[in-house]
Amino acid sequence: MGFLEPLQIFFMSIVGLVANPVNILILFGSVIMGIIFGATPGLTATLGVALLTTLTYGMDVSTAMVALMGIYVGGVYGGSYTAVLVNIPGTAASAATALDGYPLARKGQAGRALGLTTTASAIGTVIGMVFVVMLSPVISALALEFTSFEFFLLALFGIVISGTLTSQDLVYKGWIAGLIGLFLATIGRDSLQFFPRYTFGMSELEGGLDLVPVLIGAFGIPQIMQTIRDNFKISETSEFKKILPEWKTIGKNIPTILRSSLIGVGIGAVPGIGEDIAGWVSYGTAKKASKHPEEFGKGAVEAVIATETANNSCIGGAMIPLLNLGIPGSPPAAMLLGAFMLHGIQPGPMLNIDRPTFVLEITAILLLASIAMWVSGIFLSKQVVKVLKVPTSLFMPIIAVLCVIGSYALGMRVFNLYLMLPIGILAYFLSEMKYPIAPLIIGVILGDMCDQNLRRALMVSQGSFMPVFQRPVSLVLILVIAILIAGQIPAFQRFQVRVKEGVVSLFKKKEKSADNA
């Protein structure tokens, strides 16, 4: 495919989507639904994607992708509403936005703050989309050279890094969650030798665990239980007259936008991390780079732009490993992977061969979703804020019913409900004990890839692990995994500190010698 052909496919995809009024209605409907899910504390973008997945069963692939990408983009952006207006982030991704968005609202600039978050989020999504287009062919071509050992190590790296970075206190809790996910993925007949594992004679388990009920249970049930327990209510929101995009302020902060976009894309591409970490890292970096760091926390416009650009550009970053390697970069992307598989799309290195135009179609939808989000945010924000005044306790029974319908509708199997409920209760108690859920889900999703490729590689090498040390990519991956694990051992941490001090001391001696000379 030459240079002009992808552009032609991209613009033809946009024209095809825009020409169908049903697609436009679904796009705006799903974006607004995503904003409501993102803005309502207790609901998340991940849960929104999970529930909408169940409603897209009967749609064609193109329309279903419009709905799912729309709610994903709207959900990540929507958290900024309550972060700015009531100092309570609707999602973890907008937690950093509340630090300066709410002080701006307290100064009577709530409309200005929402205008900046809306525009920064739209720009971040578009920049993330550009990176999907640029990097996908490169990563996809590289992945075609991978052997089974590389795929096994890549899956293992995804689980280990996800567990390492998402743990709230002790890293091993993230690894344990990942191992639980790996165990759940082994249930059923294995695909290489067709041997039943952990089925206990139950025919329903022989095909393995269906991904959608597991995801709905893991993300939906804990949210419902936590919201009912906390009996959360939104207090009075700050008043705002109208939302303006403030292009002049955006223009002055272009370096911040570019830097935050790169941070968002980079963090989004790391498996299982997500938009919340992108927001915090971008906030910290913007504060360090700012000429007025003392204004951060008191209503700094730069901070609001940095966090919202980063968490929305993270969407594009999360799509890069998802589309090209079959590894989700964030929890909503994990749910999106389940939706892709439900519609017969298998992300990974073969995607560009099986469906050569699919990545470009997704990026076209991302662009349209960011435009729909900007229009909805600028013109419909007052109506969305009115919805937030409905008590969340009224939303929860509806969400619970949608969880049940969504799990049951997949194959019309009652067994899926028996599966969803214990997984949800397990996820709730793990969350209460501060075990992150993202590594568990990443383990379930990547477990099959991990298991199959390890066993296939050992069959080909006749039980030898030597090929791991003879291939550069395998060697790099196993070294990174070893350093990640060893980095939690106190003796290794002390060794790292000594090496760092030694290097710094060496550079200082060289500088002193150069000065004396």
Element at 183 (helix H, strand E):
helix 171-185
- The tokens for 234 are 């939104």
Q: Which residue, among 478, 463, 483, 484, has the nearest Cα to 150 in the 3D structure?
A: 478
**Residues in CB range of 439: below 8 A, 6 or more apart:** 159, 162, 163, 166, 174, 175, 177, 178, 181, 272
Contacts with 127 (C-beta within 8 Å, 6 or more apart), sequence order: 257, 258, 261, 265, 309, 313, 316
Which residues are paired to 197 by β-bridges? 188
What residues contact residue 331 under an 8 Å CB cut-off, 6+ apart? 44, 46, 219, 272, 274, 437, 438, 441
Distance CA 151, CA 450 (A): 7
The span from the first CA to the last CA of the chain, in angstroms, equals 57
- The residue to which tokens 């009996």 are assigned: 231
pLDDT in tens, the chain (517 residues): 666 777 788 888 888 888 889 989 999 999 988 888 888 766 778 888 888 887 887 788 888 999 999 998 888 888 888 778 777 666 767 778 888 888 888 787 878 888 888 888 889 889 988 888 888 888 878 877 888 898 899 888 888 888 887 777 788 898 999 999 999 999 998 888 888 999 888 888 888 888 878 888 887 888 788 777 776 555 565 666 667 667 888 888 889 899 999 888 888 887 766 677 788 888 888 888 888 888 888 888 888 899 888 888 888 888 888 888 888 877 788 888 888 888 888 888 888 888 888 888 899 998 999 999 998 888 877 777 676 667 666 777 777 887 888 777 666 788 888 888 899 999 999 988 989 888 888 888 888 888 988 999 999 888 888 888 888 888 988 998 898 888 888 888 888 888 878 887 777 777 777 766 6
Give the pLDDT score at 501.
81
Q: Return the structure tokens found at 107.
A: 């100064």
Task: Decide if 256 contacts 286 (C-beta within 8 A).
Answer: yes
Residues in CB range of 159: below 8 A, 6 or more apart: 175, 178, 181, 182, 271, 272, 439, 442, 443, 446, 450
What count of Cα atoms within 13 Å lies in the side-chain half-sphere of residue 4? 0
Angle at 145 between CA 262 and CA 448, to 5 degrees: 85
Residue 174: count of CB within 10 angstroms of its CB = 28
Task: Identify whether the C-beta of residue 186 lies closer than 8 Å to the C-beta of residue 390.
Answer: no
339 contacts 56 by C-beta, under 8 angstroms:
yes
Name beta bridge partners: 189: 196
Question: Taking a C-beta distance cutoff of 8 angstroms, is the pair 434, 173 a contact?
Answer: yes
Residue holding tokens 């389940």? 338
Closest CA to 34 of 76, 71, 70: 71
- pTM for this model (two decimals): 0.80
Whose CA is closest to 228, among 88, 388, 94, 400?
400
**Cα–Cα distance, 322 to 90 (Å, whole number):** 25
